[in-house]
């Protein structure tokens, strides 16, 4: 395993781990807001939890914006 340079990796999304957020992502020139929770991060991807059991990796270059989700969808009643 090569560990040289791993201390230089910037984890810009680590502050948001586990918090409800809305990511604005661009897919085929469409801007899509995605309410989710960030669960992990690598140098090129962000792993998000859309709902229990549904996780997805998003390329960082597809993320246009991130903001805190003021409506926590986990506490909403259907």
Residue appearing with tokens 């992502």: 25
- CATH match for 11-70 among 1.20.140.10, 3.40.50.800, 2.30.30.100, 2.40.160.40: 2.30.30.100
Q: What is the pLDDT of residue 78?
A: 57
CB contact at 8 A, 48 and 32: no
What distances in angstroms separate CA 15 from CA 24, 29, 33, 53, 77, one per listed residue? 17, 28, 20, 22, 28
- CA–chain centroid gap for 6, Å, is 21
Tokens of 50: 């859309």
Structure tokens of 22? Answer: 């809305």
pLDDT along the chain (78 residues), means of 10: 51 88 94 94 93 93 93 61
pLDDT of residue 3: 47
């Amino acid at each position: 395993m090569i560990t040289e340079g791993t201390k230089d990796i910037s984890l810009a999304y680590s502050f948001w781990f586990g918090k409800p957020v809305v990511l604005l992502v661009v897919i085929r020139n469409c801007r899509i807001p995605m309410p989710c929770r960030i669960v992990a991060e690598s140098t090129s991807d962000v792993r998000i939890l859309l709902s229990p059991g549904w996780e997805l990796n998003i390329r960082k270059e597809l993320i246009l914006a991130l903001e805190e989700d003021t409506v926590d969808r986990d506490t909403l009643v259907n």
